């Protein structure tokens, strides 16, 4: 059983993970519309990752015999200006998610729920990876600058990304 506060926070995080998938789906659509199919692929894989994160949290709440409460998903931004803009926004978003996960861990700790705290350590590690992946792609895109050949090479590299 989860405390009321922890249950509320888990439900909030599930909804935030679903929003993340929705955001990345909007970004994939933008990338596809400007001919960056590899970038679109990178974001489509990210959509699946975010949904798997939501599902992992969802399953945990159900295993604790609690009820998941889904809320409306906010509309994601629609206006982007470049591949670099996409990854700047992605890195910023992942940093926000990291803070949310840290807050959830702190709530588990304050509620003295060691099992929930241990469960959440996977998400802490995952956020390190998420931020690093976004930062790496952003650095590559920025280093390409306005060189369309370099951007095309990066796009081809991102087309190879798949769910592990």
Domains identified in the chain, total number: 1
Which residues constitute the domain of residue 148? Answer: 4-158
CATH number of the domain to which 12 belongs: 1.20.1260.10
Q: What percent of the chain has pLDDT over 70?
A: 99
For the stretch 13-39, what's the b/e string if a residue is b when 16 or more beta carbons lie within 10 angstroms of its beta carbon?
bbbbbbbbbbbbbbbbebbeeeebbbb
Confidence of residue 163 (pLDDT cuts 50, 70, 90): confident
Q: How far apart are the first and last CA of the chain?
A: 32
Angstrom distance (rounded) from CA 50 to CA 53:
5
Q: Is the pLDDT of residue 164 over 90?
A: no
Does residue 163 sit within a domain? Answer: no
Could you report the per-residue pLDDT of 136-149, keeping only the tens digit for each?
A: 999 999 999 989 99
Q: Are 57 and 17 in contact (CB under 8 A)?
A: yes
Instruction: State the pTM of this model.
Output: 0.95
- C-alpha neighbours within 13 Å on the C-beta side of residue 111: 20
Mean pLDDT, residues 57-84 taken together = 97
Distant-in-sequence, close-in-space partners of 77: CB < 8 Å, separation ≥ 6: 23, 26, 89
Does residue 164 sit within a domain? Answer: no
What rounded mean pLDDT belongs to the chain? 97
Q: What is the pLDDT of residue 126?
A: 96
Does residue 101 sit within a domain? Answer: yes
């Amino acid at each position: 059983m989860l405390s009321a506060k922890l249950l509320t926070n888990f439900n909030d995080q599930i909804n935030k993970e679903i929003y993340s998938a929705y955001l990345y789906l909007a970004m994939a659509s933008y990338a596809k519309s400007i001919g960056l199919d590899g970038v679109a692929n990178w974001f489509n894989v990210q959509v699946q990752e975010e949904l798997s994160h939501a599902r992992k949290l969802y399953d945990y709440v159900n295993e604790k015999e609690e009820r998941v409460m889904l809320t409306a998903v906010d509309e994601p931004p629609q206006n982007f200006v470049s591949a670099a803009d996409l990854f700047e926004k992605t890195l910023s978003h992942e940093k926000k998610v990291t803070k949310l996960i840290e807050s959830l861990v702190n709530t588990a700790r304050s509620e003295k729920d060691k099992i929930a705290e241990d469960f959440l350590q996977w998400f802490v590690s995952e956020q390190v990876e998420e931020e690093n992946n976004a930062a790496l792609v952003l650095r590559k895109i920025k280093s390409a600058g306005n060189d369309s050949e370099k951007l095309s090479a990066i796009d081809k590299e991102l087309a190879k990304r798949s769910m592990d």
